[in-house]
Amino acid sequence: MSIILDDVYKAFGPHEVLRGFSLEVRDGETLVVLGESGSGKSVALKHMVGLFSADRGEVWVDGRKLRDLPTEELYELRRGIGYVFQFAALFDSMTLEQNVGMGLRRIGGLSEQEIAKRVEECLAVVDLDGLGARYPAELSGGQRKRTGIARAIAARPKYLLYDEPTTGLDPVTKAVIDQLILRMKKELGVTGVVITHDVDSACLVGDRIAMLYRGRRRFLGTPDELKATVDPVVKGFIEGRPELMEETE
């Protein structure tokens, strides 16, 4: 069981973002999708939870086609997916505890004590134990991002989707987040999809790396394969040499 994007097309008005993007996320791995800013990585990620629906092509999660899924079942399915937003997307009016407990409350069947216990555990996992009573506005960028991760794992999801987890962070915080992503896989055994344009992070956390270029998949392979690639576009991207990437289609 896994997440599969099959020849997905998506356009916003005249702007074609995805033009036949295909990807298969295998169980247990961490797959990184690399790409330039604005290349449609986030759009692809949002397709995986049904926040966008493909103009053409299909998205499969655990063998179920998202397009045909009734709303109730889609919500059911989403409970198995944790989504870490680029800017954390914490609810400003709630404390960290309430933020992290949101998903749990929706699932139901848990007592308030159980929820509080689980929230505390999740905050501990991201090293924010003790800060549960604070509001998002009182946190640093890195702390917010970690809260976002804690919120995403609270419901013990099978998949964790990270949208630019290290963008805009200082090198130290970035390293902390990278370690956290590795720990999530190791300790919780989640399947991860990481969207980033940071090649170092990608190589560190990714079992496999895909590159999205002009709406299509340009590359798919291990970090070693990425470093050894001869594709001028991929090479230009990882080495930061735009002149190599200038090819006409």
- Shortest reach from residue 49's CB to another protein, in Å: 5
Tokens describing residue 199: 């090649």
Site residues for another protein, 39-98, by CB under 8 A, read 46, 49-51, 71, 75-76, 78-79, 81-83, 85-87, 89-92
Phi-psi sector, 212: left (phi>0), alpha (psi -120 to 50), beta? beta
Tokens describing residue 60: 């499969």
Q: Closer to another protein by CB, 93 or 248: give it.
A: 93
> Contact at 8 Å (CB) between 208 and 23?
no
d(CA 162, CA 165): 6
Among 3, 32, 155, 177, the residue binding another protein under the rule CB under 8 A is: 155
Tokens describing residue 36: 């330039």
- Shortest reach from residue 158's CB to another protein, in Å: 14
Q: Closer to another protein by CB, 88 or 181: give it.
A: 88
Site residues for another protein, 181-200, by CB under 8 A, read none
- Shortest reach from residue 61's CB to another protein, in Å: 13
Residue count of the chain:
249
- Shortest reach from residue 156's CB to another protein, in Å: 13
Tokens describing residue 66: 């998202």
Tokens describing residue 82: 């944790």
Q: Closer to another protein by CB, 51 or 228: give it.
A: 51
> Contact at 8 Å (CB) between 184 and 215?
no
Q: Closer to another protein by CB, 157 or 237: give it.
A: 157
d(CA 54, CA 52): 6
Is 139 a residue that touches another protein (CB under 8 A)?
no
Cα–Cα–Cα angle for 45, 91, 77, rounded to 5 degrees: 40
d(CA 171, CA 132): 25
Q: Closer to another protein by CB, 83 or 237: give it.
A: 83
Q: Closer to another protein by CB, 144 or 218: give it.
A: 144
> Contact at 8 Å (CB) between 48 and 81?
yes
- Shortest reach from residue 109's CB to another protein, in Å: 12
* Residue count, binding to another protein (CB under 8 A): 26
> Contact at 8 Å (CB) between 160 and 184?
yes
Q: In sequence order, what are the beta bridge partners of 84? A: 162
Tokens describing residue 214: 């002009």
- Shortest reach from residue 91's CB to another protein, in Å: 6
Q: Closer to another protein by CB, 83 or 219: give it.
A: 83
For another protein, the binding residues (CB under 8 A) are 46, 49-51, 71, 75-76, 78-79, 81-83, 85-87, 89-92, 102-103, 106-108, 151, 155
